[in-house]
């Protein structure tokens, strides 16, 4: 079960591939992909290993937010006494950036799949779908969030992070192999 979360973590590579065609040097994309995977791996392990090293395995396992609790104890001289504020700020900005990149990749992928003339044609439907899914998954209590993360997310994340891009790639491959052209929805507007 735990490996599914690792698989879902690398769905950023799918997003990376959607914006890779805008790269200044396409010949360096394989090297940049390896660097991206390394950075993602470090970003995934860092918040996990820090609390275990500071609090020990048992206490870290029982804390509600181990990484947040760890950074509450960090103090840099008399200059920065509350590092937890910076941590929350970085997590919030990072979350919004990740949501924006995944939404951009979804819009671009759907537009490409449906042969739309303009990339931003499906921006509003994808954004509304994303917001609707987020609101439907929003939980009322911490226990429900833990239940969602432990029982539902481990199936939803790989399906959305890898399953949908693979399905999109399969449809594109079938269309290319058999010469099927999707109807252009822009001509109706």
Query: How many Å from the N-terminal Cα to the C-terminal Cα in the chain?
Result: 46
Over the stretch 80-106, which tens digit does the pLDDT of each residue have?
Answer: 777 788 888 888 898 888 888 888 888
The whole-number average pLDDT for the span 115-126 is 86
**How is the chain split into domains, by residue range?**
2-180
Q: What is the pLDDT of residue 10?
A: 64
Query: On the CB side of 142, how many CA atoms lie within 13 Å of its CA?
Result: 3
Q: pLDDT tens digits, residue range 35-79?
A: 888 887 887 788 888 888 888 889 888 888 888 888 888 777 777
Is there a contact between 57 and 34 (Cβ–Cβ < 8 Å)?
A: no
| Residue 76 bridge partners (DSSP) | 80
Q: What are phi and psi of 33, to 5 degrees?
A: -65, -40
Hey, is 15 helix, strand or coil?
Answer: helix
Provide the whole-model pTM: 0.66
């Amino acid at each position: 079960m735990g490996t599914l979360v690792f698989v879902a973590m690398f769905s950023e590579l799918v997003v990376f591939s959607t914006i890779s065609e805008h790269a200044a040097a396409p010949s360096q994309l394989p090297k940049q992909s390896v660097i991206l995977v390394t950075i993602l791996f470090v970003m995934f392990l860092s918040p996990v290993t820090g609390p275990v090293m500071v609090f020990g395995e048992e206490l870290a396992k029982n804390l509600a937010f181990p990484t947040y609790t760890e950074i509450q104890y960090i103090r840099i001289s008399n200059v920065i006494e509350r590092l937890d504020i910076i941590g929350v700020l970085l997590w919030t900005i990072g979350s919004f950036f990740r949501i924006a990149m995944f939404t951009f990749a979804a819009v671009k992928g759907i537009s490409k799949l449906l042969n739309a003339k303009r990339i931003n044609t499906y921006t509003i439907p994808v954004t509304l779908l994303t917001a609707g899914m987020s609101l439907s998954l929003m939980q009322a209590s911490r226990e429900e969030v833990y239940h969602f993360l432990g029982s539902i997310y481990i199936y939803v994340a790989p399906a959305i992070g890898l399953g949908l891009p693979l399905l999109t790639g399969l449809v594109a491959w079938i269309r290319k192999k058999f010469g099927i052209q999707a109807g252009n929805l822009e001509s109706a507007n």
